[in-house]
Structure formats: C-alpha cells, structure tokens
Structure 1
C-alpha cells in the first residue's frame, strides 16, 4: 500500500445502475469510507475523500460518469493531485471470478473491461512494464445463460450473489487495512 496514493472504485454513477454488478467498485469505496468513518464529498468529477493509512494520505474516488468514460474524471483528479497511474489502485467488477472472490492484481491490460480501457486510453499508456497499475478485482461471475455480457453486468445480482460479493468486499477491507 505504500505506493498507493488513490483508490478508485469503478461503476456507473446514476441511481438506475446503483445496485448492478457493474457497480462493485463503488460498493468497495462505500465500504472503505465506512470502515475509515469518513464521508465522501460530492464534486463535479465524482465523490472523493481522504483516508490515512500508516501516516499516508490516500484519496478515495468514485467517478461521476458511466463506466465506459470513467478514465476522464480519474485522469482529471489524478492530474490535479499529481498522482501517476502506477500509484492508483483501481477496484472493479470481474467476470472471470465467481461471486465471493476478490483478487489483487498488478498489470497493464484491460482484459476487455471498458472502464479499464477508458483509464488506459486517458492516461495514454502503452502496454509496457513501466506503465502498470494495481487492481482489486471483485468477482461477479459470468452469465449462465445466453444473456449478453452488457445485460449481465447491468443487472442486479441475486440475493445470494450480493451476499457473497458484500462479504468478500468487507473481508478484503478488514484483512487489507487492519
């Protein structure tokens, strides 16, 4: 965590999508703010707050945009605070992990995730080792039927899936930040 200066939770900012799988990153930031007993302040670019970990100030940020455009406000806030991409921890939903699994990753690619694509494009990074960033991938699973990926990520998880996702977020926060 010593290299992290900002933790960003990806999601869609409108009420319509608040409870959908694609907002797992927002759920993480909300839980992290609650864990540190801080309130996020609404700004034009999104909601932002500051936590203190081992005497290091770390920004929490939820972009006020749709997932596919999230790189724009993230780049703006990072530029304002002079934070480089490799000092940002991006939290997002992950189709390749089942609900209940949270995984930390250091990497450079987007693996088809539109929010990550937007971040990479806005930071104008190439896929090279010097331009990595950190991620927390929150498992949401893949659709079991012929449902399209976009319909799946923009739908509300079952009560069992939601419970697994929420518990995995809370367990990750508790084990990472205590």
Structure 2
C-alpha cells in the first residue's frame, strides 16, 4: 500500500491558495480514481482505494501545514509502512515556476516547514515527493502572505495543467515507475508575461 499525502491548510479561506496545491492534487486523484477522501483519522481526511491496481491511502492532513508530521507519522506507523517505498508527499515549491513539477525520491526539507515536520516525526527524509511550482515570492512580499495568496489567471491555467500531470505521475509512481515519472515530468515551463 502507498500513503499519498497532499499538504495544505484546513479551512475554506485557504482553498486554492499556493500553499494548498497538495490538497488540489489529492482532490484530482480522488476524482479520477473515484476515492472518497472523507474519513477522519489521525488528524486528517483519508480515503482508501486503488490506483492502477495498487492499494492507496489518500491523505489531506488537517493539522495546518507546519504540523503535517503529526498527522502523517502516526498513519505510517499504524499501517507499518516504509517511507522509502510506500510514502509520496505532494506540496508547493516557491523555487519552481508555476506549472512546473519536480519529482524526487528523497531529499532535505528545502526550507518547507511541512516537509521539515514530516522528516522530524517520521525520522526519515527517504521518501518520494512531488513538488508543484507556485512561483517565487516578489521582493516586496512577506513569504507567509505570498504562499497564502491565490494564483493569477495565467498562473492558474499552468497550475491546473500541473495538477493533472501530478496525477499522471502518481499513476506511474505507484507502479514502481518513478524514474519514468521523473523523465516525463521534471521539465521546465514558463508563464507568458502577458498571462501573469
């Protein structure tokens, strides 16, 4: 079984913000594979089902971003899952332009507090992740305000495309095709200035 978690913040006011892109991907996966992410367990909304013949648990932590590990670590322990082989985390990345994906098998938190908390509480940074680009913070913006802001119309088109590509990538990853997912989706796209 794979635990696939998308990171975000609970509450309607955070919907469709840059920081909640992980939730958007989980919603798209749930929609495509007809999985209901409605069961409340371990401070998260969860839903189990199958993707490409593989059993998965989709997770949307309800702990707020910086405490994501409080939700994910107990689930990993309960199901006796190995982070290196059975956990995939989806989250926002401000170092990538909107619409770009970066798939990795492991790595540091890279300054992302949600990932930092998951690493601290699972005791491992050896897990697959899909980073979805949300764009760099403008110089005059506070980082917290920026990640809680919404996308421009042009950015949103690219991000919606990236969400669907993340769903495709996950379909490959649960079949053990992470290298193929990386080859296919780790490529650079740029937002047209007139759309920004």
Same fold (TM over 0.5): yes
Query: SS where residue 24 of structure 2 aligns?
Result: helix
Deviations 1:52-79 (A, max 9, x none): 2343211110101100001101111111
> Could you tell me which residue of structure 1 aligns to residue 12 of structure 2?
15
Query: SS where residue 141 of structure 2 aligns?
Result: coil
| Alpha-carbon distance in structure 2 between the residues aligned to 1:54 and 1:81 | 20
- In the superposition, the TM-score normalised over structure 2's length comes to 0.80
| Alpha-carbon distance in structure 2 between the residues aligned to 1:55 and 1:17 | 33
Query: SS where residue 142 of structure 1 aligns?
Result: coil
| Alpha-carbon distance in structure 2 between the residues aligned to 1:172 and 1:76 | 25
> Could you tell me which residue of structure 1 aligns to residue 102 of structure 2?
103
Q: CA deviation at 1:14?
A: 1.6
The aligned length equals 170
- In the superposition, the TM-score normalised over structure 1's length comes to 0.88
Q: CA deviation at 1:109?
A: 0.7
Q: Cα RMSD between the aligned structures?
A: 1.7
| Alpha-carbon distance in structure 2 between the residues aligned to 1:174 and 1:57 | 16
Preserved CA contact (<8 Å) 2:33 2:51: no
Gaps of 5+ in 2: 173-196
Deviations 1:110-150 (A, max 9, x none): 0000000010111133xxxxx51100000001123310211
Gaps of 5+ in 1: 126-130
> Could you tell me which residue of structure 1 aligns to residue 67 of structure 2?
69
